[in-house]
Amino acid sequence: MMHTYLGLDHVQVAVPLGGEETAKTFYGELLGMEEIPKPDVLLKRGGIWFQCGSHQLHIGVQDEFTAASKAHPAFEVNGIEALRSKLVSHGIEIVEDVPLEGVVRFHIRDPFGNRIEFVEKRL
């Protein structure tokens, strides 16, 4: 029997120890992702989980933290210009990327320095 891929279940982004409250504010309040409960068996590891459309974003804590400057999640959104305006109004620097046909995109850095991309397809 062959296997098939159904898509992504989740993406994980690392933050330094003690970064959960900052992550809640940034990902939950500013970006508007819904916090979801972690399974009890994983609570002792720290971190926080968010629902993002049909996928999940897991924020994990890391002892010797280094921000991901190249590897990154890219979130597909509707209303990317409204998101851009909201981020700018909160002092978040928007970094434009090379244009792709039919796609509006930009990236930012989260409070920990991780690269986060947003895309809106316009085909």
Domains of the chain, residue spans: 10-121
Superfamily of structural domain 10-121: 2,3-Dihydroxybiphenyl 1,2-Dioxygenase, domain 1 (3.10.180.10)
Angle at 59 between CA 53 and CA 64, to 5 degrees: 155
Give the integer Cα–Cα distance in Å for 102 and 96.
15
pLDDT of residue 5: 83
pTM for this structure? 0.91
Mean pLDDT per 10-residue segment, the chain (123 residues):
88 96 97 96 94 95 94 95 97 94 96 97 85
